[in-house]
Each structure stands twice: as structure tokens, then as C-alpha cells.
């Protein structure tokens, strides 16, 4: 099971969708002007191929209105005491109040059209929580793979061909982050470079089958198909640039991984620069490189030293 905290992301999204809502009629115009309070939490977990959401919010908005005929201005509050997964958005309680004085017609406008638009905005938040925020969290199930995606893989000793076709365009912009990591290895630049470009060495440190063509435009597959990609640039013993994706990332989304090999005092410093990592996969990507690459490569280098 994996779980991700959505609280801070949700607060920003609620601010975005709830502030600036406008309703008007022949009597006046009202607008939500300020998010005065947003208390609670939200999270998403992935269990057995399914996403489970938890959210509970207590929200207070300020609104202001103007009477069209007189130009008189009025202010009030909108309170949402409990937005949670236990209730449908259309049933969520929305309480509208106004400061003392005239302007009841504006309050009525906010209680009718305003409440409807607030609930619509809350629906937009929940839709974003379940798509934008969670992009890449869930592994495709067998049923999804069979129904939504046709993937044909033909593996030979030196080539990997992947053809993918999806009947539905995703049309979702994926929020991404960039990573920078450095690691020192007790070996030469030449040997470290070969560990990333020689099939037998890749299979030894990854402890799994690999397919790779270490040339510009060549495809690779590591960790038994968990990682796939393509070599974009290879400067022998200096730099490797790759298109890179993990199996559980959004379909057809690739990051760009650049490995720079720097000799330093009998060791080699490896600099990793990675752009385009789905934001919800940042920690997984760091773990992948630190535990499955750097540490395993160091173990392999120790074995090579012992056997030499």
C-alpha cells in the first residue's frame, strides 16, 4: 500500500476554485472574495490496484456584493462545515450569512445561485484530487491493460520494440519535478560508464534480465521491464542522456535522465540530473536510484574487485 498526503495541495486547490466565484441577477452582483479558513486534511492511498480517498474539510469564505440600482455594498460569509467523502457534493451543507442591515436580496442570491456554484467548485476540487493529484499512483490492472491499451513487446537479444496504442487521448497535463543527485564510486570512469552500457553488467547489478542497445536511438529495458527507455546521447566515459520511464507512470510519459561521469581523486563522481518526473513519483524515483542503482552498483564493484 502506498499513501500520499494531499493536505497542502488541497489547500492551494481549494483557494484556486473557491475564490472569485461570481453570481449576479437584475438586483445585484456577488463574488466570493476571500478564503478565511480551511481546516482539515486529505490523503490518497493505493491498495491492490485501487485508489482510496480520504478528505475532511471545514471551510469559511468571505463574499461581497453590490446592489445594481443603489450601488450599496454588502459583505457576508459562506461556511462549509463538513466536506468529506461520506457525503455527495450536492448534499454538502453550505451556509450563507450576511452582516446586519439591508441587502437580503444579495444574501438570497448567494443562497441560491451562489450555493450551486460553490458546490460545483467543490466538485472541481474533488475531480482534480482524483486525476491531477493522483496521476501515476495506481498501477494498471490486468483488465485495464486488456481493455484500454494494446501493447506489443517483441524482445530479442539486442533489441526492444514497443508499440503502444491508446483509444483515448489522455489530455492531462502532468505536474513534474526535477531531481539532482550525486554519488561517489570507488572505481574508474571507464568501469562505471560500462556498468550502465554493457548488458551483462546491467543484469548483474539489477539482478534481473535486461535488453539494451547502447547507441544513440537505441532502446533499453531493465529490472525485468519495470524501467524502459531510449538512449538520446552517449559521450563515451563522459555522459549518458536517456528517455526514461517507470512502468507505473502515466502512459507514454517519459523523463529525461542525464548521467555525468566526473573523475575525482581516484574515484568517480556520478551526477544525476533528471527532468520531468511526475510529482507524485519523486520519492519513488529517489529511492530507485539510491537503493536499486547506486547501492547495488557499489556491491557489484566490490565483487569485481574481490574477483580481480
- HEC secondary structure over the chain: CEEEECHHHHHHHHHHHHCCCEEECCCEEEEEEEEEEEEEEEEEEEECCEEEEEEEEEEEEEEEEEECCCCCEEEEEEEEEEEECCCCHHHCCCEEEECCCCCHHHHHHHHHHHHHHHHHHHHHHHHHHHCCCCCCCCCCCHHHHHHHCEEEEEECCCCEEEEEECCCCCCCCCCEEEEEEEEEECCCHHHHHHHHHCHHHHHHHHCCCCEECCCCCCEEEEHHHCEEEEEEEEECCCEEEEEEEECCCCCCCCEEEEEEEEEECCEEEEEEEEEEEEHHHHHHHHHHHHHHHHHHHHHHHHHHHHHC
CATH topology of domain 148-307: Alpha-D-Glucose-1,6-Bisphosphate; Chain A, domain 4 (3.30.530)
pLDDT 10s digits, 269-287: 999 999 999 888 888 889 8
Question: Looking at residue 86, what is its pLDDT?
Answer: 83
CB count within 10 Å of CB 191 equals 15
Alpha-carbon distance values, 235 to 181, 213, 261 (Å): 20, 15, 10
Instruction: Give the CA angle between residues 51, 54, 56 to the nearest 5°.
Output: 155
Q: Please, where in the chain does CATH 3.15.10.20 lie?
A: 2-130
Q: Please, where in the chain does CATH 3.30.530.20 lie?
A: 148-307
Report d(CA 233, CA 213) in Å as an integer.
Answer: 12
Over 70: is that where the pLDDT of 147 sits? no
**CATH architecture label of 2-130:** Super Roll (3.15)
pLDDT 10s digits, 110-124: 999 999 999 999 999
Among 262, 264, 278, 272, which Cα is nearest to 293's? 272
Question: Looking at residue 88, what is its pLDDT?
Answer: 87
Mean pLDDT, the chain, whole residue set: 84
pLDDT 10s digits, 201-226: 999 999 888 999 999 999 999 988 88
Amino acid at each position: 500500500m502506498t499513501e500520499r498526503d494531499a493536505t497542502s495541495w488541497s489547500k492551494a486547490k481549494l483557494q484556486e476554485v473557491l475564490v472569485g466565484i461570481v453570481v449576479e441577477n437584475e438586483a445585484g452582483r456577488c463574488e466570493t472574495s476571500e478564503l478565511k479558513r480551511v481546516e482539515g486534511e486529505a490523503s490518497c492511498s493505493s491498495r491492490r490496484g485501487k485508489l482510496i480517498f480520504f478528505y475532511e474539510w471545514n471551510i469559511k469564505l468571505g463574499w461581497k456584493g453590490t446592489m445594481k440600482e443603489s450601488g450599496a455594498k454588502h459583505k457576508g460569509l459562506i461556511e462549509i462545515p463538513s466536506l468529506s467523502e461520506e457525503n455527495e457534493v450536492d448534499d454538502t451543507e453550505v451556509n450563507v450569512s450576511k452582516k446586519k442591515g439591508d441587502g437580503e436580496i444579495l444574501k438570497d442570491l448567494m443562497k441560491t445561485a451562489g450555493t450551486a456554484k460553490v458546490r460545483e467548485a467543490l466538485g472541481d476540487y474533488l475531480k482534480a484530487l482524483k486525476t491531477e493529484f493522483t496521476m501515476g499512483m495506481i498501477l494498471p490492472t490486468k483488465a485495464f491493460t486488456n481493455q484500454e491499451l494494446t501493447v506489443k513487446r517483441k524482445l530479442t537479444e539486442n533489441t526492444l520494440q514497443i508499440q503502444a496504442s491508446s483509444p483515448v487521448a489522455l489530455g492531462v497535463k502532468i505536474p513534474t519535478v526535477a531531481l539532482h543527485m550525486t554519488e561517489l564510486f570507488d572505481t574508474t570512469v571507464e568501469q562505471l560508464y560500462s556498468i550502465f552500457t554493457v548488458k551483462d553488467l546491467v543484469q548483474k547489478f539489477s539482478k534481473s534480465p535486461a535488453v539494451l542497445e547502447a547507441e544513440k536511438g537505441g532502446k533499453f529495458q531493465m529490472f525485468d521491464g519495470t524501467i524502459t527507455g531510449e538512449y538520446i546521447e552517449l559521450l563515451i566515459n563522459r555522459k549518458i542522456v536517456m528517455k526514461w520511464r517507470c512502468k507505473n507512470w502515466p502512459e507514454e510519459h517519459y523523463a529525461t535522465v542525464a548521467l555525468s561521469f566526473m573523475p575525482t581523486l581516484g574515484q568517480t563522481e556520478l551526477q544525476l540530473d533528471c527532468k520531468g518526473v511526475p510529482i507524485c513519483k519523486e520519492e519513488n524515483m529517489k529511492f530507485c536510484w539510491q537503493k536499486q542503482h547506486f547501492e547495488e552498483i557499489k556491491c557489484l564493484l566490490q565483487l569485481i574487485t574481490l574477483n580481480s
